[in-house]
Amino acid sequence: MAFSAHHDEDSVKEHFETDEQIESKARSLATQIRKSKHFIVFTGAGIATSAGVPDFRGPSGKWTLEAQGKRLQTSSQCTLQAIPTQAHMALVKLQHDGKLKYLVSQNCDGLHRRSGIDADCISELHGNSNREFCIRCGTEYLRDFRAVASHEKTVFNHRTGRRCALCRGDLHDSIVHFTESLPQIPKERAFDAARKADLCLVLGSSLTVTPANEVPEVVGQRRGAKLVICNLQKTPLDGLASTRIWAKADDLMVRVMQHLELSIPAFVLRRRLKLQLTPKARGCQLVITGLDVDDTPATFLQSVKVERRTAKTEPYIFELRDDLVSGVEFMIELQFMGHYGEPNLTLTHRYNGGWEDLQCSYLLSYSPQNASWTTSREAQPLSGQL
């Protein structure tokens, strides 16, 4: 990966259009989205600034401050506690309604995945600070902590110090540093989506980082396809844009959704819990693991308590005295990482004698607005191994 971060005053100057101009362009964009057969979105750091995540090229952005010899004052907790923005959630709604076919992002903050975007509908070209993978078998893991190497020797040493639960291979972070190549599969899927796209919307990107910026460029250069750029600073691709919008991502997307007559959903944090019961000569064994909504192994618990026994290491394994007889219940107390103030949750799993009770999963949904959990047992048992 290479980049061209210009630090002259004109390149970081922010431009704002009037409300009337933004409204008119939002109405036009909504019409284009309705007519589009293959609509894609390309996002940069600007989509997350209203969530408190700093951008790169704005007046207080990382690159801008570095060019001035200043340090960015922010915490590693920033992205973990950030609530996905209205623009994030608008994209979730568009994707779930079938209007948004693919999302390409330069961001490493993990907010798109957390917001509810389907994992198979996004390319995180520069990685995800909450995602690591096994260098041996390729298994991915999502974490409710920064799964990033310490860089004690070099930034190109991606080992996180953890090992794969399946094959014990070294886990590597997914962050792509400058001069490193983009991950092959996300890159191929991004460019494939661009070649199919008849409409591409850029939200909050300076479009200076290569080769990521070549994705919207593919759309802008193709006859019959339209490139729409929404960013506060100038970009190198402005000349290819059929529509140029000088606005914040939220300000545009709220209006676009109104013209599409679609409501922007509130952010809900969704987790899944996998339970496996195994009968023993005496009692039984209960194994609990966390999953993301797409079955990716996920770490979001600090501890699990069953029958006064507490486990703090994944997978959470309990050797229990209760025999597996119909009607037996297991009280499971979950303690979360708590980045959104999640309270502990007590889940009751009842064994009714059926095979579907031996291996199953629960969907856990948390509303930061109400500070409350809702749970539901999923209809079908999970397949595969722990």
Query: Stretch 184-203: mean pLDDT, rounded?
Result: 98
Confidence at residue 70, expressed as pLDDT on a 0 to 100 scale: 42
Residues 6+ apart with CB under 8 A from 153: none
Please choose, from the candidates 218, 159, 168, the residue with its C-alpha nearest in 3D space to the C-alpha of residue 193. 218
Confidence at residue 78, expressed as pLDDT on a 0 to 100 scale: 79
Query: Stretch 349-355: mean pLDDT, rounded?
Result: 93
- Check pLDDT > 90 for residue 63: no
Query: CA 79 to CA 309: how far, in whole Å?
Result: 32
236: its two tokens: 């190198």
186: its two tokens: 């996300």
Q: Which of 126, 172, 259, 339 is catalytic?
A: 126
Domains of the chain by start residue, with CATH: 2-129+175-259 (3.40.50.1220), 269-377 (2.60.40.1970)
Are the CB atoms for 265 and 250 separated by under 8 Å? no
Please choose, from the candidates 234, 238, 254, 301, the residue with its C-alpha nearest in 3D space to the C-alpha of residue 273. 301
- Check pLDDT > 60 for residue 112: yes
At 242-285, the pLDDT tens digits run 999 999 999 999 999 999 999 999 999 999 999 999 999 999 99
Query: Stretch 299-316: mean pLDDT, rounded?
Result: 95
Cα distance between the two ends of the chain: 35
Q: Rg of the chain's alpha carbons, rounded to an integer?
A: 23
At 70-97, the pLDDT tens digits run 454 544 457 899 999 999 999 999 999 9
Query: CA 112 to CA 79: how far, in whole Å?
Result: 11
Whether 126 sits among the annotated catalytic residues: the reply is yes
Which DSSP letter does residue 265 get? P
Residue with the bigger pLDDT between 239 and 381: it is 239
